[in-house]
Structure 1
Amino acid sequence: MINPVYLRSFCTLVEVEHFTRTAERLHMTQSGVSQHIHKLEEQLGRPLLIRQGKRFTLTDAGELLYKEAREIILSLSNLEQRVKEDHAFEGVVRIMLPGSVGLKLYPHLLYLQQQHPKLVIDYRFAPNSDIEKAISNNDIDIGFMTSPSNHADVNINAVAEEELLLVTPGNFLTPDWEQLLELGFIDHPDGAYHAGLLLGANYPEFQHSNQFKKKGFSNQISLILEPVSRGFGFTVLPAFAVENFQNTLQNSLKNTIQKSQLIKTHRLSNPISETLYLGTNRSKSLPNRVNTVIEEAKKWL
């Protein structure tokens, strides 16, 4: 393989047409330039220059080499520049989040992309286990999780707290244990876990979510409160998911129907929150565009 340093010396010599000035431009000695040309000729097995005192002309091989090498040197120079550049608002940022916080952040990151069209947000919803795996495999740049990670390749930092809320149909003011048993539970992938945290801290009778009649299930975070709003049952969700559903109702319903008629959130006497963690790959440095997205996300958590 031809040494690109030798090619650069050769191309500069052809353009400057003088060994001494070439050496000055490249911050070399004149003998160093001559050595680079000699090594090229040895490797190619063809003379590149016809020397005439202090002047020279190119051989056919020299002309061909210069024509091709000039493009290579320009390409290498552009590559070096692109690698050195680390734009804060250009490039793809791959992010994974659990459903609740994902709903919260998505509009804000879309707005950031609107402000900076060269910034591309690759935004995916996923459970904690998938997010942890994606971080360790370098499939994403950042991931938000609601549980800590013990994976050797995953670095995590607590960045926010998200309150868990009991959500009932709108006609329930202060639901007691018997009312919850009668109403039944709208389950979701984290339903048992969330119910265990919040109800276990506030209802002495609580043992497991299986104590409630199961009145429905949804694995789509934006749809979990639909059956609750229709009076089918209650559920426990993070505050971001509840807020998103309420905002959607407010934007879509007619003025004759108040959102408070459909669902009601209850902050119990012993509040419980989930910790939200930011995860990155421990062995990978973060480019500026990723730090831009992290800082924007933190503003809204």
Structure 2
Amino acid sequence: MDQSLNVFVTVAEKKNFSRAAEELHMTQPAVSQYIRSLEETMDVRLLERTNKYVRLTKAGEIVYHHAKEIVGLYGRMHHLVNDLSHEASGQLSIGASYTFGEYVLPHILARLLEIYPLIKPDVRIGNTAEIADLIMSRQLDVGIVEGRFKENRQLTAQAFAEDQMILIASAKHPLTLKEGAINWQRLAEQTWIIREEGSGTREAVEAVFDRYSISPVRSMQFSSTQPIKEAVEAGLGISLLSKWAVQKEIRYGDLVQLPVEGLPFIRQFSIVTSSQYQTKALKVFLELLLNNRELTLFRKSNGI
């Protein structure tokens, strides 16, 4: 692989020649020479440089996007060839949407590393749309996402586990005092705390709104699950979240599951991949997920 591409990607991400040189174990003049060589080859300036910053030009953004993919493909090729004669080891880039990534994946990884200590997981947490984009650009080996996922020629998805979405409120919320199931019209009058567009959790909330023909009078939006739980606990409103995500708060009485007809809402966790070629590290990780033994043990131990 052309070393100048790797140097360029590092400079673009570090936004500084000195930090890039340190990362690459090179001298700063050597880094500068690689960048000049690449710019001469491309016949265009790729970086804007001043004493205060280094940033990509428009051409640089295009080159960075493709260089990142090339560097990733080269590393994956190296791992695949190395796998032919070695045990499962090396880098494993995993993407996960927030619910699975924050509340379930750590337990799966603990089991993976117990069995295969030479694997080096690198985890990226994002919403479903972000993870799909990173897999398509070859920056991730595998993604675990929630909700519906539209397959295409580049990506394939396989459902492997169910997720229960429940309605939660603060232990002091007036709805927790109501006996029996709460009707949907009453829920439409509440403030709903929801995730951002592109999130699998947001998709589930909108599916529930559509199913029961409600349009809440007020809503607040957050970009991850933890602040939503904090907002609900503070009494700002109610929210539909995965049971995986709120098990501890319910157990300790900080949050309460509201009794609502038609809930829990069931959705799927899916494994998303982009290539027929898989490293041994990826294969054993997928086997662990599809086996579901660890998920079953985790579910039982947490009352899910």
TM-score (structure 1 length as normaliser):
0.59
Indicate how the Cα distance of structure 1 residues 117 and 232 shifts in structure 2: closer, same or farther if over 3 A, else same.
same
Larger Cα-atom Rg: 1
**Alpha-carbon contact 2:157-2:272 (below 8 Å) kept:** yes
Q: For the residues of structure 1 that align with 2:116 and 2:252, how far apart are their CA atoms?
A: 35
Shift of 1:109: 0.5
Segments of structure 2 that go 5 or more residues without pairing to the other structure are 1-78, 296-304
Partner SS, residue 223 of structure 1:
helix
Q: What residue is the counterpart of 1:6 in the other structure?
A: none
Indicate how the Cα distance of structure 1 residues 265 and 293 shifts in structure 2: closer, same or farther if over 3 A, else same.
farther
**Equivalences, count:** 204
1:122 aligns with 2:122: yes
Shift of 1:192: 4.8
Q: What residue is the counterpart of 1:291 in the other structure?
A: 283
Paired residues for 1:1-301 under 5 Å: 82=82, 84-88=84-88, 90-102=89-101, 103-114=103-114, 116-146=116-146, 147-171=148-172, 172=176, 173=178, 174-177=181-184, 179-189=186-196, 190=199, 192-201=202-211, 203=212, 205-206=213-214, 208=215, 211-214=216-219, 216-243=220-247, 246=248, 249=249, 259-266=252-259, 268-269=261-262, 271-282=264-275, 284-298=276-290, 299=292, 300-301=294-295
Q: For the residues of structure 2 that align with 1:99 and 1:236, how far apart are their CA atoms?
A: 14
Shift of 1:288: 1.6
Shift of 1:180: 2.7
Partner SS, residue 205 of structure 2:
helix
Q: For the residues of structure 1 that align with 2:93 and 2:258, how far apart are their CA atoms?
A: 33
**Alpha-carbon contact 1:164-1:198 (below 8 Å) kept:** no
**Alpha-carbon contact 1:135-1:281 (below 8 Å) kept:** yes
Indicate how the Cα distance of structure 1 residues 127 and 279 shifts in structure 2: closer, same or farther if over 3 A, else same.
same
Segments of structure 1 that go 5 or more residues without pairing to the other structure are 1-78, 251-257
**Alpha-carbon contact 1:167-1:266 (below 8 Å) kept:** no
Indicate how the Cα distance of structure 1 residues 262 and 155 shifts in structure 2: closer, same or farther if over 3 A, else same.
closer
**Alpha-carbon contact 1:164-1:238 (below 8 Å) kept:** yes
Q: For the residues of structure 2 that align with 1:293 and 1:123, how far apart are their CA atoms?
A: 13
Partner SS, residue 139 of structure 1:
coil
Partner SS, residue 113 of structure 2:
helix
Shift of 1:183: 3.4
Q: For the residues of structure 2 that align with 1:182 and 1:155, how far apart are their CA atoms?
A: 40
Q: Structure 2: which amino acid aligns with 1:101?
A: F
Q: For the residues of structure 2 that align with 1:225 and 1:187, how far apart are their CA atoms?
A: 10
Indicate how the Cα distance of structure 1 residues 224 and 280 shifts in structure 2: closer, same or farther if over 3 A, else same.
same
Q: For the residues of structure 1 that align with 2:267 and 2:122, how far apart are their CA atoms?
A: 25
Identity of aligned residues (%): 18
**Alpha-carbon contact 2:168-2:239 (below 8 Å) kept:** yes
After superposition, the CA RMSD in angstroms is 2.9
Partner SS, residue 295 of structure 1:
helix
Q: For the residues of structure 1 that align with 2:94 and 2:83, how far apart are their CA atoms?
A: 22
Q: Deviations over 1:123-143 (max 9, x none)?
A: 111122222222222211111
Partner SS, residue 224 of structure 1:
helix
**Alpha-carbon contact 2:149-2:157 (below 8 Å) kept:** yes
Q: For the residues of structure 1 that align with 2:160 and 2:83, how far apart are their CA atoms?
A: 31
